[in-house]
Every structure is written in structure tokens, then in C-alpha cells.
């Protein structure tokens, strides 16, 4: 009898979770590489960002970004409500919203059926779903050497015109002591540096 109750409870919990996932969960689709990351930052639909965005973890964007986005070695996804007017570089890129700019991925670029993309795409694999709108060029690289060459060429496109150039270590050179660079993984360091600058003044 106890076993029957346990089995009944397991079945009801499974059906509840299945229904939850089916009824509008915004979790990434099973075929997407975005599901591999547990640490992921989210830029909400009411956020507008302009400048250079660099992160050391995966990022999902539902807001508006203008400038450059660099998530090297990590995944980047643009939700159906997201709008990017930016050149972007990430390990895997999934676009469901709007992207105007060039994109380079180390593994895969996915253009979903709801996406509108205008720009040049570079990746070993590029997937364009039926219904997705795309205008630009696709460069599907074959070898690791070719990929390194494309990454080096693409770095020139990843400098926002309103910001000073970065040094060899990727840090933005700025005239003042406060940096023009914002990293999603270093927000606390940024705040501490700002506080120290105010104390010195």
C-alpha cells in the first residue's frame, strides 16, 4: 500500500513538472547549448545599456544593448524581446529577438524563427530556423587555425567608438583613475574602486 502511494505521488509530481515546463517556462530549449550553464546573468526588458559589456559568465538579454558585447568562452542568448545594436563575441550565440551587428561564436550561432538579424555571422556552425529573418553573410570556419585568425580580425570590431582602446590585457585605457570598462563578474570591484577614488578626492 505504501509503495502504491509513493508511486502515485511520484507520478503526480512528474506530471506537475511536465505541465509547468510546457506552460510557458522560459527555460532554454533542450537542443540549445544555453541549458549547459547554471551561472547566467540576465539583462531585463526594462534595462537599456550603451557601451562595452564584458562578462565571465553566460548572459541572457531581454533588454536593449548598444555597443559591444564580449562573453568569450561563455554563452550569449538574446530573448524574443531583446534588441542588440552591437558586435558580439561568445562561445555560443542564440538569437530570438533583434540583432543588428556582426557576431562571432567559437562553436555555434542559432537564429531562431522569431529572430531578425542584420549583420555578418562567423562560426564553425550556423543554424537558421525556418521563419528567422537574416540579412548579411555567413562564414563557417573549418579549422582551429582559421578560427583563431577570424577572432584576431574580429577584435577590431569589438571596440566601441565612444570608448578608448583596450591594452594588450583587454583593459580599457582611460584618462582618469576610474575605468570605462564594466564586467558583469566584477561589479563589486568596480564599486570598491569608485569608493576609493571618492575617498582620495
Tens of pLDDT, residue by residue over 123-164, are: 999 999 999 999 999 999 989 899 999 988 888 888 766 655
Residue scoring higher pLDDT (195 or 146): 146
CA distance 49 to 90: 18
Q: Where are the domains of the chain?
A: 33-158
Cβ proximity of 155 and 122 under 8 Å: no
pLDDT for 165 equals 58
- Which helix (H) or strand (E) is 128 found in, with range? strand 125-128
Of 1-10, 120-129, 190-199, the range with the lowest mean pLDDT is: 190-199
Q: How do residues 6-26 score in pLDDT, each as one tens digit?
A: 554 444 444 333 433 333 334
* CA 130 distance to own-chain centroid: 22
For range 180-188, the mean pLDDT: 40
pLDDT for 157 equals 82
Pairing of strands 83-95, 103-111: parallel
pLDDT for 197 equals 46
**Which residues, 6+ apart, have CB-to-CB distance to 83 below 8 Å?**
63, 64, 65, 97, 98
Three-class secondary structure of residue 56 per DSSP: coil
Grid cell at residue 195: 569608493
Q: Residue 6: phi, psi to the nearest 5?
A: -60, -45
**Which residues, 6+ apart, have CB-to-CB distance to 167 below 8 Å?**
173
Three-class secondary structure of residue 97 per DSSP: coil
pLDDT for 12 equals 43
pLDDT confidence of 184, banded at 50, 70, 90? very low
pLDDT confidence of 39, banded at 50, 70, 90? confident
Q: How do residues 76-119 score in pLDDT, each as one tens digit?
A: 999 999 999 999 999 999 999 999 999 999 999 999 999 999 99
DSSP-assigned beta bridge partners for residue 93 = 76, 109
CA dihedral 180, 186, 187, 191 (to 10 degrees): -70
Grid cell at residue 99: 540583432
Computed over every residue of the chain, the mean pLDDT equals 74
pLDDT for 170 equals 52
pLDDT for 181 equals 39
- Could you count the other beta carbons within 10 Å of the beta carbon of residue 115? 22
Amino acid at each position: 500500500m505504501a509503495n502504491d502511494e509513493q508511486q502515485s505521488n511520484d507520478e503526480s509530481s512528474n506530471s506537475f513538472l511536465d505541465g509547468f515546463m510546457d506552460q510557458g517556462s522560459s527555460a532554454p530549449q533542450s537542443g540549445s547549448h544555453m541549458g549547459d550553464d547554471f551561472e547566467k546573468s540576465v539583462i531585463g526588458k526594462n534595462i537599456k545599456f550603451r557601451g562595452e559589456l564584458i562578462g565571465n559568465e553566460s548572459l541572457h538579454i531581454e533588454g536593449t544593448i548598444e555597443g559591444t558585447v564580449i562573453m568569450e568562452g561563455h554563452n550569449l542568448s538574446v530573448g524574443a524581446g531583446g534588441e542588440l545594436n552591437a558586435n558580439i563575441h561568445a562561445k555560443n550565440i542564440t538569437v530570438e529577438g533583434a540583432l543588428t551587428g556582426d557576431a562571432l561564436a567559437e562553436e555555434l550561432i542559432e537564429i531562431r524563427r522569431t529572430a531578425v538579424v542584420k549583420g555578418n555571422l562567423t562560426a564553425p556552425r550556423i543554424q537558421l530556423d525556418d521563419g528567422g529573418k537574416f540579412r548579411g553573410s555567413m562564414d563557417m570556419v573549418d579549422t582551429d587555425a582559421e578560427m583563431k585568425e577570424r577572432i584576431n580580425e574580429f577584435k577590431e570590431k569589438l571596440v566601441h567608438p565612444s570608448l578608448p582602446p583596450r591594452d594588450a590585457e583587454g583593459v580599457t585605457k582611460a584618462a582618469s583613475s576610474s575605468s570605462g570598462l564594466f564586467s558583469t563578474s566584477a561589479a563589486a570591484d568596480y564599486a570598491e574602486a569608485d569608493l576609493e577614488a571618492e575617498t582620495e578626492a
